[in-house]
Amino acid sequence: QRTHEPRPTPPPNESDYYTLTHNPRGWCVVFNNEIFTGGLNNRKGTQEDADTLKEVFTRLGFQVKIHNNCTAEQMKKKINDLGKNNFKSDDALVVFVLSHGEKGCVFGTDWEKVLLKELTDPFTSGRAPTLTGKPKLFFIQACQGDGYQKGYRPCSREDENRKKEAWQADASIPDETVPELADFLIGMSTVEECKSFRNKRTGSIYIQELCKHQVMDDILTVLTRVNREISKGEFLSYKQMPEPKYTLTKKLVLKYI
């Protein structure tokens, strides 16, 4: 009787992976908004995220630039100026936004709005041709709504009060779609209509977990692992689930260099 032996797994095809050969790999730009005017609470703990991102992405071979406490117009200008760069010698682009927001936008420190689309549009193939075919990663640490994701484990009043002293929720940002062009990834710290949490002492759970797992595998596997680890946690007695959206066409593996 004829038997079917399992075929050995073929070696990975290099064409399945984005090429990362330049040193530096490209820019990692961080908008770190902590101190707000106009009634928004300051984002205590965000400096921990910025420091961690600088350490990790420098080791990953990126030039890291941190913009602290930018107004909406300053954010727009800096992102548009970045989009005018010649990326011929870059392998990738990474942008982090650590801020407050609401539906359809993130906030500058002046409580004015910046649309997520305004952050990504300068890097489409039409406007930044030297980034064509290269991965463009955007990570947004902010809420996407005012809802809370409930967990199933009971929490004592004592534990609840202790957690409330440490954890805060960032204001919401939009249910935006990924740009309809290839090679974008937008990593949202939470699913739509729900809050995202940040510890006032240790930083946001999303950014810290992302940096912890960054070099283990390709980026989508990393983000799946981040989803799993964050889903195990409980913040202010509630849950959080991140959500990546992407049009990547290859696997992306970031490694220390």
Q: How confident is the model at residue 240 (pLDDT cuts 50, 70, 90)?
A: low
Mean pLDDT of the region 193-202 = 50
| Active-site entry in 28, 105, 143, 211 | 143
How far is Cα 26 from Cα 90, in angstroms, rounded to an integer? 5
100 is catalytic: yes
Residue 62 lies inside a defined structural domain of this protein:
yes
> Do 234 and 1 form a contact (C-beta atoms < 8 A)?
no
Question: Could you give the number of structural domains in the chain?
Answer: 1
Give 108-168 as a DSSP string: -TTS-EE-HHHHHGGGSTTT-GGGTTS-EEEEEESBSSSB-EE-SS---HHHHHHHHHHEE
Residue 81 lies inside a defined structural domain of this protein:
yes
Residue 75 lies inside a defined structural domain of this protein:
yes
Q: How are beta strands 167-170 and 238-239 bridged, if at all?
A: unpaired
In sequence order, the 6+-apart residues with CB closer than 8 A to the CB of 5 are none
Residue written as token pair 């007695």: 237
Would you state the pLDDT for residue 176?
A: 46
The single-letter DSSP state of residue 255 is -
Mean pLDDT of the region 215-224 = 87
Residue 140 lies inside a defined structural domain of this protein:
yes
Helix axes 46-59, 205-213, angle to 10 degrees: 20
How far is Cα 214 from Cα 89, in angstroms, rounded to an integer? 23
Per-residue CA distances from 77 to 28, 72, 100, 173, 244 (Å): 17, 9, 19, 20, 26
> Do 201 and 43 form a contact (C-beta atoms < 8 A)?
no
**pTM of the shown model:** 0.79
Whether the predicted pLDDT of 177 surpasses 50: no
Residue 195 lies inside a defined structural domain of this protein:
yes
* 24 cis-preceded (ω within 30 degrees of 0): yes
Residue 184 lies inside a defined structural domain of this protein:
yes
| Active-site entry in 28, 70, 100, 211 | 100
Residue 94 lies inside a defined structural domain of this protein:
yes
* Cα separation of the two ends of the chain: 52
The residue range of the domain holding 175 is 22-246
194 is catalytic: no
CATH number of the domain encompassing residue 214: 3.40.50.1460
Residue written as token pair 């240790």: 202
More confident residue, 212 or 57: 57
Residue 193 lies inside a defined structural domain of this protein:
yes
Q: How confident is the model at residue 251 (pLDDT cuts 50, 70, 90)?
A: very high
